[in-house]
Structure 1
Amino acid sequence: MSATYHLQVVSLDGLEYEGEVQKILLRTIDGDIEILARHTNYCTAIGMGTAKVTMEDGQERKAACIGGMISVMNGEVRVLPTTWEWSENIDVERAREAKARAEEILKDKQLDNEARIRAEAKLYRALVRLGSSGQEHNINID
């Protein structure tokens, strides 16, 4: 078995996960990063994407991870996302509806810059949720 470490994920909704894992892969503002056991101390902001957590037993779980911070300090890893939704808990129909609403708003050529930025952010979040759900395929967000 691979070496493990303690992971804690705490979102604005509360404790999402605490326990031993083999690794976590998630998107930061500088690109994707994978944290393995004995990783050097590290801290950065989280972007938007699908987080992949390899549990102690080797099972992989996915989650929509949006915003926040990740900290690695002396072998302890803390993920403090703004939003964290395990793939099995994502309401796919709600995400599809949010995507459709955002796409409809973005069709408006008269949209001011602020409204466009908000609609693009909503579309991006919906796409992350759909991609993380395992229900939608070929959604690539860069």
Structure 2
Amino acid sequence: MDCLTVNVVTPNGLVYDHRATIVVAKTTDGEIGILPKHAPIIVPLAIDEVRVKRTDSDTHVDWIAVNGGIMEVRDDVISIIADSAERERDIDVSRAERAKQRAERMIQEAKENANTDELRRATVALHRAINRINVSKHT
């Protein structure tokens, strides 16, 4: 059986290391599905979820909240390098909800003050919080 080795690494270390039959991720240009024997590729990732269908189960899918980064595919090894990433089971939902509320307040303040830099940062923070909340619902 052909399979992929999937590694997700952050500055804090290895977040995920399993074998899979398919990996689906969202790049900055759209969604991509990777199967065994995929051609080598390096793509930038969007803030979104990564879905990994593991080889040890016909139905189990692991969900990982990835906050941008890059994905390299080479010789049936997928390496995702991200600033931060969390598996669905590791997400602190209440912390993510608080981050979402903070980001929404920051967006409102940035709009009131016409601060485009702050608005951009707050929008990214909101997207990250929503991504974590959405991934946590897959447990």
Contact 2:41/2:73 (8 A) holds in 1: yes
- CA shift, 1:75, in A, is 2.2
Match of residue 118 from structure 2: 115
Q: Unaligned stretches of 5+ in structure 2?
A: none
Q: Which secondary structure does the structure 2 equivalent of 1:61 belong to?
A: strand
Q: In the TM superposition, what whole-angstrom CA distance separates every residue of 1:100-138 from its partner, at most 9, and x where no partner exists?
A: 111112223124111111111111110111111117xxx
Q: Which secondary structure does the structure 1 equivalent of 2:63 belong to?
A: strand
Q: What CA distance in whole angstroms lies between the structure 1 residues aligned with 2:28 and 2:52?
A: 19
Q: Which amino acid aligns with 2:127?
A: Y
Number of residue-to-residue matches in the alignment = 134
Moved over 6 A (4+): none
Give yes or no for the alignment of 1:78 onto 2:79: yes
Quote the RMSD (CA, aligned, Å).
1.4
Match of residue 66 from structure 1: 67
TM-score by length of 2: 0.89
Match of residue 139 from structure 1: none
Q: What CA distance in whole angstroms lies between the structure 2 residues aligned with 1:111 and 1:89?
A: 36
Identity of aligned residues (%): 27
Match of residue 21 from structure 1: 20
Q: What CA distance in whole angstroms lies between the structure 1 residues aligned with 2:3 and 2:137?
A: 26
Q: Which moved more, 1:22-31 or 1:12-21?
A: 12-21
**Matching of residues 1-142 of structure 1 within 5 Å:** 3-58=2-57, 59-108=60-109, 109-134=112-137
Q: Unaligned stretches of 5+ in structure 1?
A: 136-142
Which one has a larger percent helix, Structure 1 or Structure 2? 2
Q: What CA distance in whole angstroms lies between the structure 1 residues aligned with 2:132 and 2:105?
A: 18
Q: What CA distance in whole angstroms lies between the structure 2 residues aligned with 1:67 and 1:123?
A: 14
TM-score by length of 1: 0.87
Q: In the TM superposition, what whole-angstrom CA distance separates every residue of 1:44-81 from its partner, at most 9, and x where no partner exists?
A: 11111011111112321101011111111122221112
Q: What CA distance in whole angstroms lies between the structure 2 residues aligned with 1:93 and 1:19?
A: 28
